[in-house]
């Protein structure tokens, strides 16, 4: 994913045609991948359909530029609208101001709420299969007589906005829900990849308020925080990037170029910004007293993802300041592996998905 365009998803005709040129070899690549890698040890638990789905994402994000991906994928609201229409669900939207919205996976309810901050490297919108995953979780909780509202934050993406805009929009979402009557004890906040980074930015803002973003005050700790494959270091120096390059969902080159763009938006992540940008590299005492902000934390990762070493480093440091932190790893799993089963409609879900459902259910019991 090289450089960004001046406006989100706006391309001249030549670059639109470039998408076609890049994608022309994809069918041959998929056939070759199935023939040569289906029996590799890291794919032994994956169906052919899943291998194909993973390969499409890996190829597209490696060879297409960010503006081209933005052009193809559209906006978070556009993805939500199309997904909801296909699922025969009403659009339920709360305007937050500052170009932010809460997009509800119907039905909207405020007695128990999951606030979801989506990933995408701060440059791409929510994916429809992320929404399908959370609809599945919502239905599984309903089977246990736990009614939950799932609110998805639509936040601004680069190049239109950089830090601290998404942080301020996440603050608006949190404050909106509390003002609407959601008790912190009935609110669990979740985020994948860059969304996990954004959840940790919220915690950092509560512990170390920075200028330019209003302080966040809660009357009680949040019930829980779930971080799926959180992006906690924006560089690609860790050994797991080399070990899992070409196996994971995103290549090392893709993650490195995206990380460079995001770091530039943090003004190089110097000084206080560094801990907001890269929580795994924050000072050792940075998350002291985080147990007063959130009662329980679940972090998940794939054993074959490039970010594995960074996530492990973060969890080890975070546990020093919070006694109720669970770290679950899917053997051979990729970045955001639980979501990927919903990309291709996989019937047999990975081992992390039921654990995530159980953990969230326990928080609302």
Whether the CB-CB separation of 250 and 335 falls below 8 Å is answered with yes
Q: What is the pLDDT of residues 138-177, one digit of tens each?
A: 999 999 999 999 999 999 998 889 999 999 999 999 999 9
Closest Cα to residue 300, out of 336, 253, 266, 276? Answer: 336
Hey, what are 62's tokens?
A: 């490696």
Rounded to whole angstroms, how far apart are CA atoms 20 and 29? 15
Rounded to whole angstroms, how far apart are CA atoms 186 and 161? 31
Mean pLDDT (the chain, rounded): 96
Question: What integer pLDDT is reported at residue 5 of this predicted model?
Answer: 41
Query: 267: alpha, beta or left, given left = phi > 0 and alpha = psi -120 to 50?
Result: left
Q: List CB contacts of 245: < 8 A, sequence separation 6 or more.
A: 251, 252, 306
Q: What is the pLDDT of residues 20-54, one digit of tens each?
A: 999 999 999 999 999 999 999 889 899 999 999 99
Rounded to whole angstroms, how far apart are CA atoms 55 and 349? 18
Question: What integer pLDDT is reported at residue 146 of this predicted model?
Answer: 98
Hey, what are 105's tokens?
A: 């996976």
Q: Which residue has the higher pLDDT, 28 or 9?
A: 28
Rounded to whole angstroms, how far apart are CA atoms 273 and 6? 24
Q: Are strands 100-105 and 92-97 parallel, antiparallel or unpaired?
A: antiparallel
Q: What is the pLDDT of residues 268-318, one digit of tens each?
A: 556 778 999 999 999 999 999 999 999 999 999 999 999 999 999 999 999
- Tokens 């170390």: give the residue: 208
Rounded to whole angstroms, how far apart are CA atoms 183 and 198? 21
- Please state which of the ranges 40-49, 302-311, 319-328, 337-346 shows the lowest mean pLDDT: 40-49
For residue 226, how many C-alpha atoms fall within 13 Å in the half-sphere facing its CB?
24
Hey, what are 118's tokens?
A: 């989506």
- Percentage of the chain beyond pLDDT 90 is 92
Question: What integer pLDDT is reported at residue 6 of this predicted model?
Answer: 57
Rounded to whole angstroms, how far apart are CA atoms 338 and 301? 10
SS (H, E, C) the chain: CCCCCCCCCCCCHHHHHHHHHHHCCHHHHHHHHHHHHCCCHHHCCCCHHHHHHHHHHHHHHHHCCHHHHHHHHCCHHHHHHHHHHHCCCCCEEEEEECCEEEEEECCCCCCCEEEEECCCCCCCCCCHHHHHHHHHHHHHHHCCCCCCEEEEEECCCCCCCCCCHHHHHHHHHHHHHHHCCCCHHHEEEEEECHHHHHHHHHHHHHHCCCCCCCCCCCCCCECEEEEECCCCCCCCCCHHHHHHCCCCCCCHHHHHHHHHHHHHHCHHHCCHHHHHHCHHHCCCCCCCCHHHCECCEEEEEECCCCCHHHHHHHHHHHHHHCCCEEEEEECCCCCCHHHHHHHCCCCCCCCHHHHHHHHHHHHHC
| Whether residue 14 has pLDDT greater than 90 | yes
Which domains, from first to last, does the chain contain? 74-364 (3.40.50.1820)
Rounded to whole angstroms, how far apart are CA atoms 314 and 120? 20
Q: List CB contacts of 211: < 8 A, sequence separation 6 or more.
A: none
Is the pTM here over 0.75, yes or no? yes
- Tokens 């990729």: give the residue: 334
Rounded to whole angstroms, how far apart are CA atoms 121 and 234? 10
Polymer length in residues for the chain: 365
Phi–psi pair at 363, nearest 5 degrees? -70, -25
Q: What is the pLDDT of residues 74-87, one digit of tens each?
A: 999 999 999 999 99
Beta-carbon count within 10 A of 306 CB: 28
């Amino acid at each position: 994913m090289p450089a960004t365009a001046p406006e989100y998803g706006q391309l001249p005709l030549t670059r639109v045609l470039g998408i076609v040129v890049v994608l022309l070899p994809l069918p041959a690549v998929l056939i070759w991948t199935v023939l040569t890698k289906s029996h590799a040890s890291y794919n032994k638990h994956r169906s052919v359909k899943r291998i194909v789905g993973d390969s499409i994402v890996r190829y597209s994000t490696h060879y297409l530029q960010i503006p081209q991906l933005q052009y193809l994928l559209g906006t978070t609201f556009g993805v939500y609208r199309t997904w909801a229409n296909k699922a025969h669900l009403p659009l339920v939207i709360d305007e937050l101001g500052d170009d932010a919205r809460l997009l509800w996976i119907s039905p909207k309810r405020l007695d128990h709420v999951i606030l979801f901050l989506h990933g995408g490297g701060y440059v791409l919108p929510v994916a429809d299969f992320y929404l399908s995953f959370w609809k599945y979780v919502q239905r599984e909780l309903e089977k246990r007589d736990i009614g939950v509202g799932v609110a998805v934050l639509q936040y601004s993406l680069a190049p239109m906005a950089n830090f601290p805009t998404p942080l301020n929009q996440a603050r608006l979402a949190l404050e909106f829900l509390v003002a609407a009557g959601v008790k912190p004890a009935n609110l669990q906040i979740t985020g994948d990849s860059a969304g996990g980074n954004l959840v940790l930015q919220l915690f950092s803002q509560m512990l170390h308020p920075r200028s330019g973003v209003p302080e966040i005050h809660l009357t009680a700790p949040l019930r829980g925080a779930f971080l799926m494959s959180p992006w906690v270091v924006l560089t690609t120096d860790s050994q797991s990037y080399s070990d899992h390059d070409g196996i994971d969902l995103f290549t090392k080159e893709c993650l490195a170029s995206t990380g460079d763009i995001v770091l530039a938006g943090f003004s190089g992540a110097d000084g206080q910004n560094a801990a907001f940008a890269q929580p795994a590299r924050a000072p050792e005492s940075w998350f002291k007293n985080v147990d007063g902000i959130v009662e329980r934390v679940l972090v998940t990762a794939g054993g074959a993802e490039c970010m594995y070493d960074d996530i492990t480093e973060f969890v080890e440091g975070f546990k020093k300041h919070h006694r109720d932190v669970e770290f679950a790893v899917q053997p051979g799993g990729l970045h955001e592996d639980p979501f990927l089963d919903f990309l291709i409609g996989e019937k047999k879900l990975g081992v992390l998905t039921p654990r995530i459902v159980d953990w969230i259910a326990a928080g609302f019991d």
